[in-house]
């Protein structure tokens, strides 16, 4: 039997299940693993070199001890094992007919230097490389499809409608706002710093924006920005913000919910008190995740790639260097330290 | 000028705006009004004799002082003025081309012996009188369209799906359960007494039913009745029940909300804590009211009238006699005293 090349494989391990606000020390950078750069015989997996890792708020839900009967889309992290999430990677060896050595892919991967991905069917092959490769963690990856599916398919927007986006400078929000402007909507975003508010107004073209941390009365802030009410709310936050939004929704308004980041680190979630208005206002609240719209990925690319090339859509990334920066980058999402889509570069090629 | 006949007109007046749990003494029976039995000249209103009044939980929201900027479908009641709601009535005089003397109608009317209805366009003419006339306050009226629109148009049910109905023996719930059985669904209802639970199981053909007042753990009760989870929840209750239901919904489940009776008498609504599950479970919560589906009324009658005549659908009414019984009948809804659809008979013809 030929000798198989193995290499050292730096990994990000979960130290123990997380409760409350996650800390950098909940993860460990381990240098103890080695990995073969060949897929096992008779495997249809692919062996990849990870390039860009996508820090996303939903990963918080995978850090905690799974509840009995919980129905999660993704398996939770296991203490002592590498964490996983979306990323961009290069195929080093393939047992899968769809992929060959040298292909670039994006999808779920281990958060380590090299990964053997057994469910290679779930990977997307990257066909367009005239745009930054890192975009496949964001505008051209899971957050992009989230914004696209949520805005067009869930919200059914019409020209002139009033759109509110929370966490608006984040990976999904910045794109939703730009889609809304392309559609001819009036769009206001909220974020947690002056720098982010400036980005919303001056870079992403939102009609207006506000810093929610400076508003002691969110209901009043929304009434100021939406004197005619809100038709579409793109929900990334939950909790008190959702309660204030419900009071300002118009008849037959739509709320697309793909995240509630304000709630992820609470042991007991905040109660939403104004839910009853869904009846007289005939509101539609729909939860969704990007995977519901993966089948629309080619259609999505047809829409968004020309806009990127023509600079009609822009995208802001917050790039951390080196796998060692994963814990700080991931935890930073929950204090809003990132400005734009948070990415970690493991390797550039 | 010819002398115009006027008659004494007994009325139910709101005494003062209601806070908290409404009381019979919040309403007064007044005998001071008189009314002309002719519509004024050049009016396109109709003058009706009220026959059956429909006691519905939503009327509670019209009893309180309107909040600024509240967007209600119906105008609230005014202290010292007669209350209004759905009812069945006979046309005594008409200035409207659609109606003539002797016609039977249902729709919004004053809660008094005779009413001058200015917005006669909103009335439905009753064409089928081989079924009980009182049915046009319930199964063939607003609650019927609520059940029909909510179940078929909001929930998009499929054969074999698991359906849960709260307040299931009420005006809307009993019909939703029977629609679900006709569709081939598995349906469980909850209600607040043994008598109501027996009705659900033995008269309306629910697969199972439980008394929510005997369950200290609603989540456990739902897990017992829905070991495979809930696909469709027809929401009439809100609050703690909704929180327990959210934990038991299946992926892509639908929640049709037309009422949250548990919340109507609270100054501060209960918070719904488990709303975040709408995201991983991709739930759709939609608020609606009967009026959204009024345009489907002919289609609804085509479906439901044959079922009534063939006794494939049954309907239980709780009939109070005389306009003097309005306060007790209306208040009884909120303690669940009624068994089936609560009606008050003002006159039988």
Kindly state whether residue A309 falls inside one of the protein's structural domains.
Answer: no
Cβ neighbours of residue A329 closer than 8 Å, sequence gap 6 or more:
A55, A318, A320, A338, A342, A343, A344
In which band, very low, low, confident or very high, does the pLDDT at B71 lie, cut at 50, 70 and 90? low
Among B258, B275, B291, where does a domain finish?
A: B291
In this structure, what CATH number is given to the domain that contains residue B231? 3.40.50.720
Q: Which residue of A has its CA nearest to B146?
A: A279
A99 and A192 part of one domain = no
Same structural domain, A208 and A275: yes
A214 and A276 in one domain? yes
Q: Do B287 and A287 touch (CB under 8 A)?
A: no
Statement to judge: residues A119 and A187 lie in one domain? no
3-state DSSP call for residue B194? helix
- The minimal CB distance from B273 to the residues A71, A271, A283 is found for A271
Q: Is residue A48 part of a domain?
A: yes
Sign of CA pseudo-dihedral B234, B238, B244, B250? positive
**Is A300 within a domain?**
no
Structure tokens at B345: 């008979």
Give the tokens for residue B47: 């003058």
Together in a domain, A153 and A269: yes
Distance CA B71, CA B75 (A): 10
Q: Which residue has the higher pLDDT, B74 or B55?
A: B55
Tell which of B250, B276, B291 closes a domain.
Answer: B291
CB contact under 8 A, B260 and A277: no
Asked if B260 and A274 come within 8 Å (Cβ–Cβ), the reply is no
Query: Contact, A34 vs A7, CB < 8 A?
Result: yes
Last-in-domain residue among B291, B307, B327: B291
Same domain as B170, residue B120? no
A260 or B159: which carries more pLDDT confidence? B159
Q: 277-316 in A: which are within 8 Å (CB) of B?
A: 277-289, 292
- B70 pLDDT tier (thresholds 50, 70, 90): low
Structure tokens that stand for A173 in this block: 């929000």
In whole angstroms, give the CA distance from residue B86 to residue B93: 19
- Are B17 and B148 in the same domain? no
Secondary structure element (H or E) that encloses residue B47, with its range: strand B46-54
Asked if pLDDT for residue B23 goes beyond 70, the answer is yes
The pLDDT value recorded for residue B332 is 94
Looking at residue A71, which CATH number applies to its domain?
Answer: 3.90.180.10
pLDDT digits (tens, 9 = 90+) for A308-344: 999 999 999 999 999 999 999 999 999 989 999 999 9
pLDDT at B3: 65
Q: Is residue B297 part of a domain?
A: no
B26 and B113 part of one domain: yes
Same structural domain for residues B199 and B326?
A: no
Q: What does the alpha-carbon distance between residue B64 and residue B178 come to, in Å, rounded to a whole number?
A: 34
Are A331 and A225 part of one and the same domain?
A: no
Structural domain count, chain A: 2
- Give the CA distances from residue B273 to residues B24, B79, B102, B285, in Å, rounded to whole numbers and listed in that order: 34, 36, 53, 15
pLDDT at B341: 95
Structural domain includes residue B182: yes
A7 reaches B (C-beta below 8 A): no
What is the extent of the structural domain holding A172? 142-291
Query: How many other β-carbons are positioned within 10 Å of the β-carbon of residue B127?
Result: 10
Chain A CB contacts of B279 below 8 Å: 257-260, 287-289
Paired with A91 in beta bridges are A48
Instruction: Please indicate, yes or no, whether residues B51 and B125 belong to a single structural domain of this protein.
Output: yes
pLDDT, block means (10 residues), chain A with 349 residues: 80 95 96 96 96 95 80 81 97 97 97 96 96 97 97 97 96 97 98 96 97 96 98 93 96 94 81 92 96 96 97 96 97 92 95
Report yes or no on B299 lying in a domain: no
Residue B334, in any domain of the structure: yes
pLDDT for the residue B178: 98
ipTM value for the complex: 0.91
User: Residue B348's pLDDT band (boundaries 50, 70, 90)?
Assistant: very high
Does any domain span residue A148? yes
CA distance A285 to chain B (A): 5
Domain match, A227 and A174 both = yes
Task: Mark yes or no for CB contact B285/A280 under 8 Å.
Answer: no
Task: Please say if the pLDDT value at position B211 is more than 60.
Answer: yes
User: With contact defined as beta carbons under 8 Å apart, do A293 and A142 qualify?
Assistant: no
**Per-residue pLDDT at B53 exceeds 70:** yes
pLDDT at B81 over 60: yes
B124-125 and B162-165 strand pairing: unpaired
Q: What is the pLDDT of residue A260?
A: 84
Backbone angles phi, psi at A132, to 5 degrees: -55, 135
């Amino acid at each position: 039997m030929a000798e198989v090349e193995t290499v050292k494989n730096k990994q990000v391990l979960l130290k123990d299940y997380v409760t409350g606000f996650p800390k950098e020390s909940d993860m460990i950078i381990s240098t103890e693993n080695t990995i073969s750069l060949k897929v096992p015989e008779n495997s249809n997996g692919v062996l990849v070199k990870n390039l860009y890792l996508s820090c996303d708020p939903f990963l918080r839900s995978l850090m905690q001890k799974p509840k009995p009967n919980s129905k999660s889309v993704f398996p939770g992290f296991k203490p002592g094992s590498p964490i996983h999430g979306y990323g961009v990677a290069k195929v080093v060896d393939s047992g899968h007919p769809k992929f060959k050595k040298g292909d670039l892919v994006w999808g779920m991967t281990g958060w380590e230097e090299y990964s053997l991905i057994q469910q290679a069917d779930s990977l997307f092959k990257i066909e367009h490389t005239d745009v930054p490769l890192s975009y496949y963690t964001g505008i051209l990856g899971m957050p992009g499809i989230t914004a696209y599916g949520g805005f067009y398919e869930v919200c059914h927007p019409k020209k002139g409608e009033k759109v509110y986006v929370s966490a608006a400078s984040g990976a999904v929000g910045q794109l939703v706002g730009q889609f809304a402007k392309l559609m001819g909507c009036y769009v206001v975003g909220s974020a947690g710093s002056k720098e982010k508010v400036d980005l919303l107004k001056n870079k992403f073209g939102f009609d207006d924006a506000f810093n929610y941390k400076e508003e002691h009365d969110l209901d009043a802030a929304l009434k100021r920005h939406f004197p005619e009410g809100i038709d579409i709310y793109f929900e990334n936050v939950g909790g008190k913000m959702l309660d204030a939004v419900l009071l300002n929704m118009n008849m037959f308004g739509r709320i697309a919910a793909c995240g509630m980041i304000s709630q992820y680190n609470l042991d007991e979630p905040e109660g939403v008190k104004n839910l009853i208005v869904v009846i007289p206002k005939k509101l539609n609240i729909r939860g969704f995740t990007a995977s519901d719209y993966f089948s629309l990925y080619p259609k999505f690319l047809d829409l968004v790639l020309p806009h990127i090339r023509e600079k009609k859509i822009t995208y802001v990334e917050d790039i951390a260097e080196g796998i060692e920066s994963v814990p700080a980058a991931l935890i930073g999402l929950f204090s809003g330290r990132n400005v734009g889509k948070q990415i970690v570069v493991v390797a550039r090629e």
